[in-house]
Amino acid sequence: MSRNFFISIIGLIVLLGAFSTLSFFEEQFSRAVHALTSPLWKGQSALAGKVGDILSAVESKHSLRKENTRLLDEMNRLKAEMLSLALLKKENDELRGHLGVERREQDVTLAFVLVRPNRSPYDTLLIDKGEEDGLKIGSLVSAPGGVAIGTVTSVSRQTAKVVLFSSPGEKSVVEIGASTLRVDATGQGGGNFEAKLPRGIEVHKGDLVSLIRGKRIILGVVEAIQAKPADSFQILLFKLPVNIYELEWVEIEKTPLLD
Amino acid sequence: MNSNGWRLKKRRFSISHDGFLPVAFRVAASMTILASVLFFPWWVGVALGVLATAYFQKFYEVAALAFLFDVLYGAKVELLYGFQFVFAAGAIALLIVSEWVKGYLRWY
């Protein structure tokens, strides 16, 4: 290996170190790059939509009829669920009224997902709202339906980067099921989480997992419990109840919530 | 030397000397990897980057493209004390390893 090659490598390492430690340069460079690339992603989404429309015209009648039936069934099921949710909301509001607790309405904005998590192994999203739309670092991001999925970690003028709670290594404080014990859930990537609980705590498959960020927010449902007889802990595996690879729209609360 | 005794200078990057095609091929490879970083899943870019680094001599472009990838999609990794540029560091390591290995291979 030549001397010039070594000098080039050292130069690259120094540049990388400078960008890692001097966050100002990294932020400015990131803003410039996002400003250049967001029109390309918007164009890609528009093109994908047009191609999808053209291809759907050649789909067979049988498959369209089948899809229609499936969607009608799904819609009826969701209508029924919405009725029970409306009832629960009403009860919740009445209880809050009795206890004198006011409901804080969050200012929510809807954003289109430009880049989905399959583009990187980090479980990150890029959305088409930024500083101009009032977004701030730390704002909570939810999938339509109110399931929390992540927080805004960097904001450019017209775009923002969202790191999902399921990003590998990301830790979140959660409560599981009826237990009031708070534990750390660690992201495993791909919308999956792992949480360790002492063996004595009763947990079941299907228990709701709630994120604690100033208020309780649904994060997922327990899918599996691993517990070896010799271990003093049980490992809970759960995942986000939304398909993060097919997300098209997300809701962002403009006021960042405190942990 | 020409007939008058003057030493003839070799031109850099002339089509007859270096060939336009190898340079054009390298630029096309870099553009392809850039397109895969922007529009395709991450493993497509990684596969193309590894192949290009193995094929071309001192393919520094892979480090620049990996850095771009980290700026676009990267998240701070808690295990690495909040270091965000994992792919860029990996690309630099790949460059070093590939040049070292090429030194021992007869094909290069």
Domain count, chain A: 3
Q: How confident is the model at residue B35, as a pLDDT? A: 94
- Residue A159's closest chain B neighbor by CA? B72
Q: Flag residues of chain B having pLDDT under 50.
A: 11-17
In this structure, are A88 and A115 located in the same domain? Answer: no
The answer to whether B21 contacts chain A (CB < 8 Å) is no
* pTM for this predicted structure: 0.76
Q: Which residues pair with A211 in a beta bridge?
A: A174, A217
In this structure, are A8 and A86 located in the same domain? Answer: no
In this structure, are A193 and A237 located in the same domain? Answer: yes
Q: How confident is the model at residue A113, as a pLDDT? A: 92
The answer to whether A186 contacts chain B (CB < 8 Å) is no
Contact B74 A29 (CB under 8 A): no
- d(C-alpha A242, C-alpha A244), whole Å: 6
Q: How confident is the model at residue B4, as a pLDDT? A: 63
In this structure, are A89 and A113 located in the same domain? Answer: no
Among the candidates A37, A56, A75, a domain finishes at: A56
Question: Which residues 127-156 in chain A show a CB within 8 A of chain B?
Answer: 153
What domain range is A229 assigned to?
A: 109-259
Q: Flag residues of chain A having pLDDT under 70.
A: 1, 58-59, 80, 83-84, 87, 99-106, 255-259
Q: Find out whether A213 and A229 touch, Cβ atoms under 8 Å.
A: no
Q: Find out whether B58 and B99 touch, Cβ atoms under 8 Å.
A: yes
- d(C-alpha B1, C-alpha B23), whole Å: 29
Q: How confident is the model at residue B92, as a pLDDT? A: 95
Domain containing A240 — which CATH number? Answer: 2.40.10.340
Among the candidates A69, A103, A137, a domain finishes at: A103
Structure tokens given for A16: 């990388």
DSSP string for B29-89: HHHHHHHHHHHS-HHHHHHHHHHHHHHSTT-THHHHHHHHHHHHH---BGGGTTB--HHHH
How many contacts (CB atoms, under 8 Å) link A and B? 75
In this structure, are A48 and A87 located in the same domain? Answer: no
Q: How confident is the model at residue A105, as a pLDDT? A: 58
Q: How confident is the model at residue A259, as a pLDDT? A: 45
In this structure, are A70 and A182 located in the same domain? Answer: no
Q: How confident is the model at residue A230, as a pLDDT? A: 80
Contact A119 B89 (CB under 8 A): no
Chain B residues close to A170, C-beta within 8 Å: 75, 78
Among the candidates A41, A56, A71, a domain finishes at: A56
